[in-house]
A and B are shown apart, each in its own frame.
Chain A
Amino acid sequence: MSERVLMKGNEALAEAAVRAGCRYFFGYPITPQNEIPEYMSRRLPEVGGVYLQAESEVAAINMIFGGAGTGERVMTSSSSPGISLMSEGISYIAGAELPCVLMNIVRGGPGLGSILPAQSDYFQATRGGGHGDYRLLVLAPSTLQEGVDLTMLAFDLAEKYKNPVMILGDGFMGQMMEAVEFRTPEPMDLPDKRDWAVGYMERRGTRALVKSLYLDPEELERHNMKLQAKYREMEKNEVRYESYRTDDAEIVLAAYGTTARIARSAINELRREGLRVGMIRPISVYPFPYAPFENLPGSVKNVLVVEMSCGQMIDDVRIGVGRTVPVHFCGRVGGIAPSVDEIEARIREITGK
């Protein structure tokens, strides 16, 4: 029996990682995610793990590369500019097919931007971020409870696909407090690390080789095709989303993360007035849930994408919706979230109601 505890977002995510069996954390401080490394530095030694503060995000992600090669559950966390610095290493990790979990508590950009919440790293997260044809599996929780559940799932998925999994949060989520419950997920049938990881040469008889270099063009093409096949598997198995009051909706909102919570309030307000508003909330943003946008109920006349960015997820929504109905946008940036009133006003403007 688990119980509900009141925790700060960053700490709840960190504890979820520990409960999922993460024992090794390598990271570098950056606001607004510092509570994650701070929590890990205290917590991991208690459970026989290792916390190591790296000299930079560049070193941190290369420690993850090394640590992930042992097959143990390793994690780092950062925020936007730090993720940019890590992107080269993330590409190596994806290329070498290593499992790890990355937390990105997104802040405003570009450049040093601000330390306030944002969703302006959607492109970076969902398109890989670094060089080469690779994808991360990206999960975008909307509440702390969902953040806890998805973090636990993330470690399993990372091992299942031998691929980095990113938890895409935002500064609100990191800093807010909410009651959460740590629920043990259903056990997954996962590959045995002793078959491939560093440290088992004696047992296996053959060594482990962790690399992303393939100088022979045909070999590199084959390697890429293997990665692509894996991404197609993820697209088949790992799409997650929530449909909220879409059945009879005239206008459907698309929003993820904290923004989806604000959108939900706007929907509930307008529903009370009889406006038929619903929402599709992507939970996995890679793989993106295109199907619900391709198959909108016939009642839908407009789609409104709400983001804390200048419009990034809207590209994926447009791919899904195609030319069937107009796709509109409502976004705020700079650390400002669209308010319930703003979203309502935009809906009234579009629907003329």
Chain B
Amino acid sequence: MKETKIFERPKSMSDVPTHYCPGCTHGIAHRLVAEVIDELGIQKKTFGVAPVGCSVFLYNYIDTDMYEAAHGRAPAVASAVKRIRPDMVGFTYQGDGDLASIGMAEIVHAANRGELITVIFINNAIYGMTGGQMAPTTLLQQKATTCPLGRDPGVNGYPMRVAELLATLAAPAYITRVSVAKPKYVGKAAAAVKRAFQTQIDRKGFSFVEMLSTCPTNWGMRPADAANWVEEKMIPYYPLGDIKVPE
């Protein structure tokens, strides 16, 4: 019998085990990025910027030129590299603590300058690496180790819709929200990542893909329940779909 290989590891993904928890969707998100890099044939002209957070070791998994940035500063790092090396393709990969809390200034200004970079924003409504503290995207009434009774808007304000916030700016070209929590969402997520990179390559402007993701460990759920929670709780507050598309 002749064997035909129909599925393999993307070339731009390193052949190492990841450190992620069972049911975490970082692995899927990484794979989508690596697949697009392969598809576009840009591995050797791409640079990525890893954040501080669970995906701090992104550089171990994506085999392109990589930076490991200070917490929240990935868009500033990527902006400079892209200005100096305009023929490279640059992306940042950031979680909600990194991008929406400590790094809010950097993401807003990089977007506002229309930097020709692609930002992959992992929104799982919690701080993962530090052990489950409240994030700017934590939902109302959602429990976290620093809001043990649930997020109270009178104390902590409201969950931030970063994609919509950035879409108020003139410069960004492509802003979309997808999910990787269940297989049925992944096809659209893959298409969004590809469109984001293509937007950059076509020099149309800044591109941003928010991915609703899971964190079973810090949510205190089984992986299947976490995937359902994204669908039942997160998507109603963070609606999926394109918010701004290139002309």
Contacts and interface: CB of A to CB of B under 8 A. Distances in A.
Interface of A: 24, 26, 50, 52, 54-56, 58-60, 62-67, 69-70, 72, 74, 88-89, 92, 198-199, 201-202, 207-213
Nearest to A199: B85
A202 B73 contact: no
Query: B interface, by DSSP: helix, strand, loop or mixed?
Result: helix
Nearest to A24: B84
B45 interface: yes
B76 A212 contact: no
Contacts of B109: 54-55, 59
A207 B61 CA distance: 13
A71 B6 CA distance: 41
B54 interface: no
Contacts of A198: 47, 65, 67, 81, 85, 88
Contacts of B66: 207-211
A66 to B, nearest CB: 4
Interface of B: 43-45, 47, 49-50, 56, 59, 63-70, 73, 76-81, 83-85, 88, 105-106, 108-109
A72 B77 CA distance: 14
Nearest to A72: B84
A55 B85 contact: no
Nearest to A198: B65
A332 to B, nearest CB: 37
A211 B57 CA distance: 10
A89 B76 CA distance: 11
Contacts of A24: 80, 83-84
B67 A212 contact: no
B64 A67 contact: no
Given A59-B76, A198-B85, A89 B70 contact: yes
Given A62-B69, A199-B88, A201-B45, 13 more contacts: A26-B80, A50-B83, A50-B84, A58-B73, A59-B106, A62-B106, A63-B80, A64-B80, A66-B67, A66-B77, A66-B80, A210-B67, A211-B68
Contacts of A212: 68
Query: A interface, by DSSP: helix, strand, loop or mixed?
Result: mixed
Contact of A66 (B43, B44, B59, B76): B76
A201 B44 contact: yes
B79 A66 contact: yes
Contacts of A56: 105
B68 A62 contact: no
A63 B68 contact: no
A207 B73 contact: no
A58 B107 CA distance: 13
A213 B68 contact: yes
A212 B70 CA distance: 9
Contact of A70 (B63, B76, B84): B84
Given A62-B69, A201-B45, A70 B77 contact: no
Contacts of B108: 55
A209 B59 contact: yes
Contacts of A67: 80-81, 83-84
B70 to A, nearest CB: 5
Interface centre among A56, A63, A213 (most CB of B within 10 A): A63
Contacts of B77: 62-63, 65-66, 69
- 9 smallest CB-CB distances across A and B, nearest first, come from A66-B77, A211-B68, A63-B80, A66-B80, A62-B73, A55-B109, A62-B76, A67-B80, A59-B76
Nearest to B47: A198
Nearest to A213: B68
A54 B75 CA distance: 11
A50 B83 CA distance: 7
